[in-house]
């Protein structure tokens, strides 16, 4: 319940931020106004002795969040995807936030598995290891299936984690309300919406059936991707609090020495990891949104293996087309077209000057293209682009921010494998192929086919609907509400069909 009982949690939070030296850094990151800064310091300083010390070897923000516990760690991870809220510097610090939490016992893990699956753990697994990884929400064990001897990874939620998260999220909402009350200017950052976004992410991760479903969907989308593989979900050994997958055996993608010793081509790996991400984002609209080295391995045959599907990104088909045209325009240095795409998509208000916007985009793109290949950064380009669009009144789009953040991470992974990698030349064939496939005559034909499919569902009823509408019109009778709606839908559908045919012919023969 979001009420005064949360004050104690906020006092403990403020005391820890003050004691670890994170208070000033956090207030600066949120660009807090003076009244809010004074209130935070006055309320926190007398209680600083109640705060957690944290690990002094960590930067203040990560030190404080790690000391405060799982919900705060996860909140920091989510905020690392929102540079529009906390700024680039803070987002960068939060990206390296590590879930260095003590594991819970094997006995507790086995009890959770038995409760979830409904069978004794010893009958499910012939071997069950100590935790191999302990994170803020769950931990992972290496095990062997009893019936066939296959090695698997078993992910188990922490005991009582759902209740602990509910309490802390409740306090976060209370804090967001206080911030909006004390600082009306902060409402532009929409604190309550940020907490709601965080709550949605966490609720998804607290039900491992949803992560299993994400892994399964991702696997179905990427079946034909050469040089890429995913662990297989073991549905019979999974549930809400337990997730079992085949074991991902390979060399960590962040260990260059081990990669070289295994004889893998790091240049090829660097290009493949970037192109895979772009394919997943553009082609499928469903991508791994946490593709850092810790979630990637290289199999013995050279395939890249991805795992941990707690954070996935999704963008609709229209947004993918817009994003691809923006990338393609920058690759071709056609800044006028990039500007037009922003206006056509409604990202920039129509009353702004498209020529002025194009010049601003040129000021962003040209210096980057003048750089040496080792200094060209797609992530920086997107960051600069968002700065420009903000000046021209473009509203923040969360799905594009997550995409930008993931691209920055993937770019970092690629450059760690091959520092001299040319990001643009690697991305170009993927973007060009997407443009040919999804923004051209073939795309128009596909869209037309979808329109026909929708209309076909109403096919048997179309003649009667049209006849009824015409009779009522000829008799001067006002149609009843349902027929009016259906008639409009009918004419709208026929108009869309005609428009689709015209577009297809224009693109094919124009």
pLDDT digits (tens, 9 = 90+) for 58-91: 888 888 888 887 778 877 776 776 665 676 677 7
* Model confidence pLDDT, tens digit, residues 437-470: 877 666 666 667 767 777 677 667 777 777 787 7
pLDDT value of position 489:
38
Closest CA to 76 of 166, 198, 211, 168: 198
Arithmetic mean of pLDDT, 186-215: 80
Residue 477's DSSP bridge partners are none
Closest CA to 493 of 460, 438, 453: 453
Residue 509's alpha-carbon distances to 93, 215, 441, in angstroms, are 53, 43, 10
Residue 411's alpha-carbon distances to 270, 274, 293, in angstroms, are 9, 7, 11
- Domain coordinates of the chain in residue numbers? 4-100+162-202, 105-157+207-247, 250-439, 441-509
Q: Which CATH class is domain 105-157+207-247?
A: alpha beta
Q: How far apart are CA 365 and CA 316, in angstroms?
A: 26
Top-confidence residue, 373 or 147: 147
High-pLDDT (> 90) share of the chain, %:
30
Q: What are phi and psi of 204, to 5 degrees?
A: -65, -40
| CB 407 within 8 Å of CB 385 | no
Tally Cβ neighbours within 10 Å of residue 415: 16
Q: How far is CA 497 from the centre of its chain?
A: 35
Q: How far apart are CA 238 and CA 112, in angstroms?
A: 11
Confidence of residue 188 (pLDDT cuts 50, 70, 90): low
| CB 404 within 8 Å of CB 385 | no
Question: Residue 141 in 3-state DSSP?
Answer: strand
pLDDT value of position 127:
96
* Model confidence pLDDT, tens digit, residues 38-49: 777 776 777 777
Confidence of residue 493 (pLDDT cuts 50, 70, 90): very low
| CB 293 within 8 Å of CB 252 | yes
High-pLDDT (> 70) share of the chain, %:
76
Top-confidence residue, 161 or 509: 161
pLDDT value of position 485:
39
Residue given tokens 């702004």 in the structure block: 352
Q: How far apart are CA 285 and CA 280, in angstroms?
A: 6
pLDDT value of position 393:
75
| CB 304 within 8 Å of CB 228 | yes
pLDDT value of position 503:
34
Residue 413's alpha-carbon distances to 112, 212, 216, 273, 491, in angstroms, are 35, 25, 24, 8, 51
The angle that helices 378-391 and 398-417 make with each other, rounded to 10 degrees, is 160
Confidence of residue 420 (pLDDT cuts 50, 70, 90): confident
pLDDT value of position 62:
83
Arithmetic mean of pLDDT, 199-221: 90
Burial of 93 (0-12, 13-18, 19+ CB in 10 A): buried
* Model confidence pLDDT, tens digit, residues 384-405: 666 776 678 776 566 666 777 7
Confidence of residue 486 (pLDDT cuts 50, 70, 90): very low
Closest CA to 87 of 25, 178, 6: 25
Arithmetic mean of pLDDT, 3-8: 65
* DSSP string for residues in 15-62: HHHHHTT-HHHHHHHTT--HHHHHHHHHHHGGGGGGS----TTS-HHH
Question: Residue 245 in 3-state DSSP?
Answer: strand
Arithmetic mean of pLDDT, 498-510: 34
Mean pLDDT of the chain: 79
* Model confidence pLDDT, tens digit, residues 314-362: 888 888 888 888 888 887 889 999 899 888 888 888 889 999 999 988 8
User: Does residue 98 have a pLDDT over 60?
Assistant: no
Q: What are phi and psi of 472, to 5 degrees?
A: -60, -40
pLDDT value of position 152:
97
User: Does residue 284 have a pLDDT over 80?
Assistant: yes
Confidence of residue 125 (pLDDT cuts 50, 70, 90): very high
Residue 351, both tokens? 């009353």
Top-confidence residue, 239 or 446: 239
Separate counts of helices (H) and strands (E) for the chain = 23, 10
Confidence of residue 483 (pLDDT cuts 50, 70, 90): very low
The set of catalytic residues is 290
Closest CA to 310 of 458, 93, 147, 99: 99
Confidence of residue 408 (pLDDT cuts 50, 70, 90): confident
Q: Would you give the DSSP letter of residue 185? A: G
Confidence of residue 289 (pLDDT cuts 50, 70, 90): confident
pLDDT value of position 116:
94
| CB 243 within 8 Å of CB 391 | no
| CB 99 within 8 Å of CB 80 | no
pTM above 0.95, yes or no: no
Arithmetic mean of pLDDT, 427-445: 77
| CB 46 within 8 Å of CB 10 | no
Q: How far apart are CA 291 and CA 43, in angstroms?
A: 39
User: Does residue 226 have a pLDDT over 90?
Assistant: yes
Residue given tokens 């990698």 in the structure block: 421
Closest CA to 108 of 161, 165, 63, 48: 161
Question: Residue 489 in 3-state DSSP?
Answer: helix
Highest mean pLDDT among 1-10, 194-203, 335-344, 379-388 belongs to: 335-344
Arithmetic mean of pLDDT, 251-256: 90
């Amino acid at each position: 319940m979001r009420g005064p009982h949360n004050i104690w949690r906020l006092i403990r939070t403020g005391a820890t931020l003050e004691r670890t030296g994170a208070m000033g850094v956090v207030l600066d990151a949120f660009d807090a106004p003076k009244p809010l800064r004074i209130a935070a310091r006055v309320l926190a300083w007398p209680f600083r002795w109640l705060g957690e010390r944290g690990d002094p070897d960590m930067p203040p923000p990560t030190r404080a969040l790690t000391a405060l516990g799982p919900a705060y760690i996860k909140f920091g991870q989510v905020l690392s995807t929102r540079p529009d809220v906390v700024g680039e510097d803070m987002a960068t610090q939060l990206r390296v936030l590590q879930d260095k939490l003590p594991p819970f016992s094997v006995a507790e893990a086995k009890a959770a598995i038995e409760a979830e699956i409904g069978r004794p753990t010893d009958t499910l697994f012939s071997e069950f290891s100590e935790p191999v990884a302990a994170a803020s929400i769950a931990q992972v064990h290496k095990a062997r299936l009893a019936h066939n001897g296959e090695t698997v990874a078993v992910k188990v939620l922490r005991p009582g984690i759902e209740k602990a998260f509910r309490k802390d999220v409740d306090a976060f909402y209370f804090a967001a309300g206080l911030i909006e009350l004390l600082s009306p200017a902060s409402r532009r950052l929409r604190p309550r919406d940020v907490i709601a976004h965080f709550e949605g992410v966490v609720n998804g991760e607290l039900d491992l059936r949803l992560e299993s479903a994400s892994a399964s969907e991702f696997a179905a989308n990427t079946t034909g991707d050469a040089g890429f593989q995913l662990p297989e979900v073991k549905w019979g050994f999974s549930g809400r609090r337990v997730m079992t997958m085949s074991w991902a055996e390979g060399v960590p993608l962040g260990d260059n020495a081990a990669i070289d010793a295994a004889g893998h081509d790091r240049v090829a790996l660097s290009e493949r990891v970037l192109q895979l991400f772009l394919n997943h984002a553009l082609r499928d609209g469903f991508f791994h949104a946490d593709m850092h080295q810790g979630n990637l391995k290289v199999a013995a045959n050279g395939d890249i293996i991805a795992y941990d599907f707690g954070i996935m990104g999704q963008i609709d088909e229209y947004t993918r087309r817009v994003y691809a045209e923006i990338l393609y325009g920058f690759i071709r240095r056609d800044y006028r077209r990039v500007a037009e795409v922003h206006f056509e998509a409604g990202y920039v208000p129509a009353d702004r000057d498209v020529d002025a916007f194009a010049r601003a985009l040129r000021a962003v793109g040209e210096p980057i293209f003048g750089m040496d290949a080792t200094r060209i950064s797609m992530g920086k380009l997107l960051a600069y682009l968002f700065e420009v669009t903000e000046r021209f009144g473009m509203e923040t789009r969360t799905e594009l921010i997550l995409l930008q953040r993931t691209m920055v991470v993937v770019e970092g992974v690629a450059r760690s494998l091959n520092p001299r990698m040319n990001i643009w030349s690697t991305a170009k064939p993927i973007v060009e192929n997407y443009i040919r496939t999804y923004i051209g005559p073939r795309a128009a034909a596909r869209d037309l086919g979808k329109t026909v499919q929708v209309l076909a569902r109403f096919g048997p009823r179309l003649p009667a609907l049209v006849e009824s509408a015409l009779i009522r019109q000829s008799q001067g009778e006002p149609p009843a509400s349902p027929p009016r709606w259906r008639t409009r839908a009918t004419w709208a559908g026929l108009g869309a069909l005609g428009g689709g045919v015209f577009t297809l012919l224009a693109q094919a023969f124009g």
